[in-house]
Amino acid sequence: MVTEEHEQIWVKVNAPVDRGIASIVSALNSIEGLRTLDSCEGIAGHKPAHVYFNYGDWRSLSAFMFEKIGPALWKEFGSEATVSVEIFNESEPLGKLSFEKEATRRVASLLTDLLYERP
């Protein structure tokens, strides 16, 4: 991204997040070019946990969500976890990862395996 006066680069910024979802936010933020925007650890039985993030243009985000993350989550969790891409404008599409609070540790482990390509 370039502003009128200064070139900008991506850096990872420390920010407070719910303890119960911190490992997932951390794993996602380890991906170059991915920027988490909002997260919540959820409320067991009432509100699923979620993370919203940007990751490039809508094609890059869709490929990441529906070719890498989605199939692995659906295979492991079925309807307990969902992925979606919300496109509000062409320049900043949002990815959303949502799952039951009780599945947080399993989702974090699966994401870590996928992102670091563990067998």
Q: What is the pLDDT of residues 37-52, one digit of tens each?
A: 999 999 988 999 999 9
Please list, residue by residue across 92-103, b when 16 or more beta carbons sit within 10 angstroms of its beta carbon and e when fewer do.
Answer: ebbbbbbbbbeb
CATH class assigned to 19-115:
alpha beta
The structural domains of the chain, with segments of one domain joined by +, span 19-115
pTM beyond 0.85: no
Better-scored residue on pLDDT, 114 or 50: 50
For residue 88, the model assigns a pLDDT of 67
* 10 pLDDT more than 90: no
For residue 30, the model assigns a pLDDT of 87
- Cα–Cα separations (whole angstroms), residue 78 to 13, 47, 84: 33, 17, 14
